[in-house]
Structure 1
Amino acid sequence: MTMSKRDTYTPDSLLAVAVEVFNERGYDGTSMEHLSRAAGISKSSIYHHVRGKEELLNRAVGRALDGLFGILEQPEALSGRAVQRLEYVTRRTAVVLMEELPYVTLLLRVRGNTTTERWAMERRREFDQRVSELVKAAAAEGDLRSDVEARLATRLLFGMINSVVEWYRPDAKGGSEREQVADAVVRLAFDGLRA
């Protein structure tokens, strides 16, 4: 994704390059020099857009988290039976992961070594907790099995969804392919979880 020096960088295009480098080298293994080489611009040009690499990390994981938390605010996640809301959140989480693949991949790889990483991990735990509450509510309504503890079910559900980052590569089908993967995630998860 290297651009020539004459190309004009925007904060978004610089962020896309940074996320690619972070995912390739690891955040800790990435220097501003690595970023400037990948972008084909000077370090001072990068500093024109951001204060440093942690700001790029913050923007990147923030984008992934905004996508995930946005799901919880959609009408389909807020009303109806808990199992239907949970299915909706599960499906949309899988789709957002695929739509924002590099950003969610980076979010899943943060280890808590910086203030931004600790913030991102805390937000991920908050998202997981909110989904776990939906699992509990669906079990209480009699729609999901009650013999699997809600936090464990949530972890297993996200383990399946999050594994998509390891193998999913978008192809020309785009949206239809993402919907097929999301359908498979929902079928596999809920056929095993239903009471």
Structure 2
Amino acid sequence: MSAPATDRTPSPAPRRGRPGYDRAQVLEIAVALFNEQGYDATSVADLASRLGLTKSALYHHFDSKEQLLSLALDEALNGLEGVLDEPEAQTGSAAERLAAVLRGAVRVLVDRLPYVTLLLRLRGNSDVERTALERRRAFDHRVTALVVEAQAAGLVRADVDGPVATRLIFGMVNSIVEWYRPTGPVDRERLAHDVVAVVLDGMRPR
């Protein structure tokens, strides 16, 4: 006797071949490879090989290596620029706003560590890189303005040049990309607290 007929459709066989990636995954892997090998030293063929894709399949997601770089840098810069527009960075004294910006910058750095790392390693070798560096300088200028405002109000010591202070502050903050590990003993919030404490205690009027 034959088996009764059913309406069930047989399950399709497992798909084989190239792995499936969405744009966000491709970008994440590209950034990791750029940081590992250097952007200039990484070819589209290198990236396709790391992803297990053909170059034509990679171009299905992105138009060029430069587009990947541009989107990656936007990820870092949009986060940093957004810190300046947060409510905490808009209210209170200049010193309080400066503290809020520093806490926010540390959080962005930790949350988007590979992207900020890529930003900090730029050399300005292309229009995309030069545009990103200009945005980074504009961010630094806005932070410098906060430092100068806090100095004028007597909230931080005035015997340190404002732009120099900003460079020293972000020299410390940016160094985090070289040693910080999200799985380590210091979490994001404690790190942000410690950075603000070191900066503002060091700049307290004497």
The alignment status of 1:181 with 2:191, answered yes or no, reads yes
2:91 is aligned to 79
Tell me the distance in 2 between the aligned counterparts of 1:19 and 1:48. 18
Q: CA deviation at 1:75?
A: 1.0
Q: CA deviation at 1:170?
A: 1.1
Long gaps (5+) in structure 1: none
Long gaps (5+) in structure 2: 1-15
User: TM-score, with normalisation over the residues of structure 2?
Assistant: 0.89
2:122 is aligned to 110
Output one character per residue of 1:153-176: Cα deviation in whole Å (capped at 9) or x when no partner: 000000000000000111177xx7
Percent identity at matched positions? 51
* Bigger-Rg structure (1/2): 2
2:150 is aligned to 138
Tell me the distance in 1 between the aligned counterparts of 2:71 and 2:102. 24
The alignment status of 1:92 with 2:96, answered yes or no, reads no
1:7 is aligned to 19
Tell me the distance in 1 between the aligned counterparts of 2:26 and 2:162. 40
Q: CA deviation at 1:5?
A: 4.9
The alignment status of 1:127 with 2:139, answered yes or no, reads yes
Q: CA deviation at 1:7?
A: 3.1
Tell me the distance in 1 between the aligned counterparts of 2:172 and 2:96. 19
Change over 3 Å in CA distance of 1:95–1:162 after alignment to 2: same
CA contact (8 A) 2:106 2:192 kept: yes
What is the number of equivalent residue pairs in this alignment?
190
Tell me the distance in 2 between the aligned counterparts of 1:92 and 1:167. 19
Q: CA deviation at 1:41?
A: 1.0
- The letter for the 1-side match of 2:157 is R
1:43 is aligned to 55
CA contact (8 A) 2:18 2:52 kept: no
Tell me the distance in 1 between the aligned counterparts of 2:64 and 2:17. 20
Runs of 4+ in 1 over 4 A off after TM superposition: none
RMSD: 1.3
